Amino acid sequence: MDTAQHNTLERWLTGPRVGSLPSPSAMPAPKLSFEFFPPKNEKLEQDLWACIRRLEPLAPRFVSVTYGAGGSTRARTHDTVARLVRETGLTPAAHLTCVGATRDEVDEVARGYQEAGVRHIVALRGDPPAGAERYEPHPGGYAQAEDLVRGLRRIGDFDISVGAYPETHPAALSADADLDYLKRKIDAGANRAITQYFFDTDVYLRFLDRCHAAGITVPIVPGILPVLNFAQVKRFSAMCGASVPAWLENLFEGLEQDEPTRRLVAATVAAEQVRILQANGVDEFHIYTMNRPDLTYAIAHILGARPQLVAA
Ligand code: FAD
């Protein structure tokens, strides 16, 4: 039996029985946060805001807005986050990356957020620009997310989230080196990590064990991706190092032309993932909404989240 199997068996023997989940009403609603991406045009902007308005009453802990590859959405991310501050009762978090900008430029963006009343930054290194084989730090830029976290700490009292990879970042030297760099980001001042999505709950639980063994005590919030388009998710997963289990592929087989059933399956899979993790003591989740509100709303509802009054 390898270590992973042993840990799983030990969890099964000593922890809650994941085969007999309590009824949803017996579990407290988990703490949720939602991720959006900034819109490319007016139509997508309307879609995004319809999505935000639908999810707003669920009173998520925060909502984050991504930063396009290579900083390509700098203005759009800023505008979306600033509008969230002005027009909603939500707590926005702005993603920020190190790619393609000097430290001064990145600092200026961070100060812009500070002035707009944004207190939460998701600090990331970013991926190499399209066509580039490997990541090269910008001359005069922040090299890694760890450096960005340190830079942000110098600028202001931000709430800082960083990325974490339960299945190891694809460019990491090793799983241990990756974990060590995660610890360094936390030690540099990050308040929590949000994970890359994963589908097998054991993948996350084993990673959590390793984080705890490494002395990481901040929340490691699992990223949950509802799978609306399986083919697309499979392609993307190959690039970002997330494994796609055969059971997931089987579940979506034959549903290529049947979106209504795909949506039901996607909501069920994601809600079950969350409920198994809840039964194992995890109480915070970050949902990648893909700017589509219905699936996220359904999942949140299954988990016990109900509309609340939100002070605009
Ligand atoms: P880092 O923590 O800097 O690590 C990157 C790689 O370098 C890893 O392999 C690590 O092991 C290694 N490493 C770290 N520190 C060092 C060091 N000092 N020396 C040598 N190697 C080191 N991308 C976007 O462009 N925009 C987004 O909005 C965005 N949002 C994301 C949100 C989440 C929750 C996650 C998990 C990822 C997101 N990404 C986003 C993707 C992210 O930018 C890429 O995965 C990127 O390749 C790594 O970013 P990081 O911040 O995790 O990097």
Domain map of the chain by residue range? 3-302
Give 132's pLDDT tier (boundaries 50, 70, 90): confident
Residue 284: is its pLDDT beyond 50?
yes
Give 161's pLDDT tier (boundaries 50, 70, 90): very high
**Distance (Å) from CA 54 to ligand 1 centroid:** 30
- The answer to whether 35 is a known catalytic residue is yes
User: Is the CB of 70 inside a 6 Å radius of any atom of ligand 1?
Assistant: no
Per the model's pLDDT, the better-predicted residue between 302 and 73 turns out to be 302
Angle, alpha carbons 199-202-207 (nearest 5°): 100
**Distance (Å) from CA 14 to ligand 1 centroid:** 34
Q: What percent of the chain has pLDDT over 90?
A: 84
User: Is the CB of 146 inside a 6 Å radius of any atom of ligand 1?
Assistant: yes
Spell out a b/e string for 201-211, using b for 16 or more CB atoms within 10 Å of the CB, else e: bbbbbbbbbbb
Q: What is the mean pLDDT of residues 204-224?
A: 98
**Distance (Å) from CA 157 to ligand 1 centroid:** 22
- 308: number of CA atoms within 13 Å, CB side? 12
User: Is the CB of 29 inside a 6 Å radius of any atom of ligand 1?
Assistant: no
| Rounded CA separation 38/95 (Å) | 11
Q: Which residue in 11, 52, 18, 24 sits closest to 292, CA to CA?
A: 52
Residue 143: is its pLDDT beyond 70?
yes
| Pairing between β-strand 284-288 and β-strand 31-36 as defined by DSSP bridges | parallel
Q: Which CATH architecture has domain 3-302?
A: Alpha-Beta Barrel (3.20)
Residue 259: is its pLDDT beyond 50?
yes
User: Is the CB of 144 inside a 6 Å radius of any atom of ligand 1?
Assistant: yes
**Distance (Å) from CA 275 to ligand 1 centroid:** 28
User: Is the CB of 169 inside a 6 Å radius of any atom of ligand 1?
Assistant: yes
Q: What is the mean pLDDT of residues 259-279?
A: 96
Looking at the CA of residue 128, tell me the nearest atom of ligand 1. 47
Nearest CA to ligand 1 atom 39: 126
Looking at the CA of residue 123, tell me the nearest atom of ligand 1. 51
User: Is the CB of 125 inside a 6 Å radius of any atom of ligand 1?
Assistant: yes
pTM score, two decimals?
Answer: 0.93
Angle, alpha carbons 179-61-21 (nearest 5°): 75
Residue 9: is its pLDDT beyond 50?
no
Looking at the CA of residue 71, tell me the nearest atom of ligand 1. 25
Looking at the CA of residue 185, tell me the nearest atom of ligand 1. 2
Q: What is the pLDDT of residues 234-258, one digit of tens each?
A: 999 999 999 999 999 999 999 999 9
Q: What is the DSSP string of 200-233?
A: -HHHHHHHHHHHHHTT--S-EEEEE---S-HHHH
Q: What is the mean pLDDT of residues 136-147?
A: 96
In this predicted structure, what is the pLDDT of residue 32? 98
Give 27's pLDDT tier (boundaries 50, 70, 90): confident
